[in-house]
């Protein structure tokens, strides 16, 4: 059976992927979206989104993704609930393998596979997900104004999350596994200078505690003495990093040391002409829905420009 040929294939279906689809569809490119293993992306695990423009009363994360999907479909986007399991960017058109079975050929590809927050791996993280456990202080910190929270981590991300939350919360407990932080000196200085951040050295999370209302505390253990104690909190924030979902592109695209796709400054272009990267798969700095959507728009415009140039090449005498 001959492989289907597509003008634009979008891999991923979060804010970046759906926005790329909206723009590509309105440009008449008839995009095909492969929704991936988590249709809608990370926001489908978020109850309340209050910082995305256009929702003055906030919006449920899954509802927002449904809204974006319907908008993309309104202009003719086709969405398939399948996973791109392999790619071959060494040939043109690009070759994609779907669910380890079907082949699709694409004249251009927009990668919107996102990134996944790293978790500690304790069951209570999932038990209290969206009920006190979060991996994004900028996204969810607003809900913990005037409360006590904990942040686990020791790098720049943890330092940034802790200092951000300290502006909103009465107290921030920073849980650090070792007797020192990995954060840059300037970030450590900011943490140390913030009076309502208490650092718990040599401390690991044993269990997140709570009830029907959500998180009520965290039980920690001192990894030197073995002593356990409970810290009363209402919010628990993970800041131990994110892992971009880019492994299947490693053989073809330039990635940084953490696996994020490198793009040319001011664009979404990768080292392979015709392949574009948008959203959290290429963004390790902002990681917000609105910035992901912005790069999704850029990716579609970059793809449209690329395809127009390809078409012009074929009609030249």
Q: Is the peptide bond before 309 cis (omega within 30 degrees of 0)?
A: no
25 pLDDT above the threshold of 60? yes
| Average pLDDT of every residue of the chain | 94
Top-confidence residue, 136 or 29: 29
Candidates 66, 83, 109; CA nearest to 268 is: 109
Domain locations in the chain as residue ranges: 4-116+242-315, 119-238
Tens of pLDDT along 219-230?
999 999 999 999
d(CA 64, CA 289): 11
pLDDT over 90 at 124, yes or no: yes
> Would you state the pLDDT for residue 316?
61
The Cα 175–Cα 135 span in angstroms is 14
Tell me how many helices (H) and strands (E) the chain has: 7, 19
More confident residue, 211 or 241: 211
Q: pLDDT band at 39, cuts 50/70/90?
A: confident
Helix (H) or strand (E) run with residue 298 in it: helix 289-315
Contact indicator for 142, 165 with CB cutoff of 8 Å: no
Known catalytic residues are 136, 139-140
Q: State pTM to two decimals.
A: 0.81
Above 80 in pLDDT, residue 2? no
Q: How high is the pLDDT of residue 315?
A: 66
Q: Which fold, 119-238? A: FAD/NAD(P)-binding domain (3.50.50)
pLDDT-based confidence at residue 317 (cuts at 50, 70, 90): low
Fold of the domain spanning 4-116+242-315: FAD/NAD(P)-binding domain (3.50.50)
Q: Is pLDDT of 46 > 80?
A: no
Domains 4-116+242-315 and 119-238 share a fold: yes
Quote the pLDDT of residue 24. Answer: 98
């Amino acid at each position: 059976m001959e492989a289907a040929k597509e003008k634009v294939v979008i891999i991923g279906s979060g804010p970046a992927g759906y926005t790329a689809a909206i723009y590509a569809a309105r440009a008449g490119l008839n995009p095909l979206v492969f929704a991936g293993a988590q249709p809608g992306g990370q926001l489908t695990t978020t109850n309340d989104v209050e910082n995305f423009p256009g929702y003055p009363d906030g919006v449920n994360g899954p509802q927002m993704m449904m809204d974006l999907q319907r908008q993309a479909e309104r202009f003719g986007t086709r969405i398939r609930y399948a996973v791109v399991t392999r790619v071959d960017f060494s040939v043109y058109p690009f070759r994609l393998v779907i669910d380890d079975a079907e082949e699709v050929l694409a004249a251009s590809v927009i990668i919107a596979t996102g990134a996944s927050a790293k978790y500690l791996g304790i069951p209570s993280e999932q038990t209290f997900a969206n009920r006190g456990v979060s991996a994004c202080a900028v996204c969810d910190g607003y809900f913990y104004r005037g409360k006590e929270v904990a942040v686990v981590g020791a790098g720049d991300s943890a330092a940034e999350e802790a200092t951000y939350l300290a502006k909103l919360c009465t107290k921030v407990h920073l849980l650090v596994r070792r007797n020192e932080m990995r954060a840059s000196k300037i970030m450590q200085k900011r943490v140390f200078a913030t009076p309502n951040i208490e650092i718990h050295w040599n401390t690991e999370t044993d269990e997140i505690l709570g009830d029907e209302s959500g998180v009520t505390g965290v039980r920690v253990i001192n990894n030197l003495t073995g002593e356990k104690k409970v810290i009363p909190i209402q919010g628990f924030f993970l800041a131990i990093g994110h892992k971009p979902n880019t492994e299947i592109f490693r053989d073809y695209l330039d990635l940084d040391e953490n696996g994020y796709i490198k793009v040319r400054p001011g664009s979404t272009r990768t080292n392979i002409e015709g392949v574009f990267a948008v959203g959290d798969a290429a963004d390790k700095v902002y990681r917000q829905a609105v910035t992901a959507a912005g790069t999704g728009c850029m990716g579609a415009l970059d793809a449209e420009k690329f395809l127009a140039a390809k078409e012009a090449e074929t009609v030249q005498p």
